[in-house]
Structure 1
Amino acid sequence: MTRLEAKERYLKQLGKELRRHAERDSILFDYDLHVSELLQEEAQQHSVEEWLELIHRRIGSPQEVAAMWREELAVTQNRTMLHFLLLNLCFFLGGGLLTFIHVFHGFAWVRVLWDMLTSVPVLIMGMYTAFWGLLGYEIGKSFGAGGRRLMQKTFFIALVPNLTLMLLVVFHVVPHAWFQPLLSTTFIVFCIIATVLLYPVCCLGYRWGKKQSI
């Protein structure tokens, strides 16, 4: 009984330390197995405090274990954010490079590609909006309720180059002629509305992903 009581006290304290961790239940399940195996290996009888001391010595205190997992979560979250930021930057730079080549070099294959893309602006906006929904979904699925701040941080950082370009175009710092025949007042208004809708789409994706993580 002292073994069982020691294990329950250890896991209860570990659960408190991990109360805001997205993988709390999974971690507790794994450590339940680890502690059970450790206690079964020990043939001698001990008091509850002695069992706890043994667990702390072999596995680590609840505070140490929780700190390790919080650090692991932070690294994983940063990696996830970096992946999405780089992917969004690739979209941005790819579009910028295509525009530059189209305006200043005018290769035949670039003109064909440009004409093809500018003929389906709604499709392009739809695909880009889906990207933001995917961002929210993946964060919600991977981190659950604990991923909301990560989703918000990733979204607003990734949106900076988009908003910067939009402002440069709206205030004619970037010539409208570069984006013809795509650019028009109607299309600019459409882009502004679509940009406003990106965050709700991202949140919907996050909520859907969070449900999948349960």
Structure 2
Amino acid sequence: MTDGGQQFLQELAKEIGNHPEKLSILEEYEVHISDLIQEESIPTDQVYEQLLIRLGTPKEIASMWKQESRITPRKTQWLFVILNSLLFIGGGILTLSYNVLDWNWIEWLWASLTDISIIIMLIYILFWGLLGYEIGREFGHRGRELLRKTFFISVIPNFVFMYLIIFKLIPHEWFQPLLNVPFMVACIVLTAFLYPVSWIGYRWGRKASV
């Protein structure tokens, strides 16, 4: 570690103060600074100035971490659990309304959504990517276990819905014209890819957090 890098870390340690994750934050920035110096071949006498340009001042970084410390893992976890549950609840209400109520606007909405089912699936994939990204950005390397727990709790409605469909506890006629073999296979494949997508988002967010 160069003198400029050490100076940056010392100032960062001072600005962070008594942050509960102080040691892990400093370790993470130490690794990142070493990688930057090595990969970018930054001259020794310019290291400190380049770190200020690329990473921001130690005061700015400390302020960011202090702000993020107010965001607890449990709040983040339940935010995504609730959001995914609301998506299924909203879809359930729409499906029930379409099959029970004779309202023209609901029929129009149902027809419009079924016409863009592929787009909806892509947006849903992005939702899970966002889950991983936010956890990676907010919690860095500490978010790996949080991602795993949040994913498996959040995905429960997906498996419940698949169970209800497979065992015909919900009338298949309710989901026409969507419910066919290709669409069901696509849904199963999509569900299998949700965690890898979340993991990619997590890695991206973790990189962006430094």
User: Which structure has the bigger radius of gyration?
Assistant: 1
Moved more, 196-205 or 81-90: 81-90
Check conservation: 1:77, 1:150, Cα contact below 8 A: yes
Structure 2 residue 99 is matched with structure 1 residue 103 = yes
- Name which of 67, 70, 76 aligns with 1:80: 76
Structure 2 residue 102 is matched with structure 1 residue 125 = no
What is the TM-score when the length of structure 2 is the normalising length?
Answer: 0.69
Give 1:119 deviation, angstroms: 1.1
Match of 2:146 in 1: 150
Check conservation: 1:23, 1:143, Cα contact below 8 A: no
CA–CA separation in structure 1 for the residues paired with 2:97 and 2:181: 24
Match of 1:176 in 2: 172
Residue type at the aligned position of 1:187: F
1:60-117 Cα shifts (integer Å, max 9, x gaps):
xxxxxxxxx9xx9596111111111111111111101000100111311000000010
Moved more, 171-180 or 188-197: 171-180
CA–CA separation in structure 1 for the residues paired with 2:124 and 2:75: 21
1:113-149 Cα shifts (integer Å, max 9, x gaps):
0001011111111000000000100110111000111
**RMSD of the alignment, in Å?**
3.1
CA–CA separation in structure 1 for the residues paired with 2:176 and 2:201: 33
Classify the secondary structure of the residue corresponding to 1:86: helix
What is the TM-score when the length of structure 1 is the normalising length?
Answer: 0.68
- Name which of 112, 137, 152 aligns with 1:116: 112
CA–CA separation in structure 2 for the residues paired with 1:195 and 1:90: 17
CA–CA separation in structure 2 for the residues paired with 1:93 and 1:172: 19
CA–CA separation in structure 1 for the residues paired with 2:71 and 2:174: 41
- Cα 1:146–1:125, aligned 2, differ >3 Å: closer, same or farther? same
User: Structure 2: where are the runs of 5+ without partners?
Assistant: 1-9, 30-57
Match of 1:139 in 2: 135
Residue type at the aligned position of 1:142: E
Give 1:191 deviation, angstroms: 0.1
Classify the secondary structure of the residue corresponding to 2:155: helix
Match of 1:44 in 2: none
Residues matched between the structures, number: 165
Between the two proteins, what is the percent identity of the paired residues?
Answer: 44
CA–CA separation in structure 2 for the residues paired with 1:98 and 1:23: 49
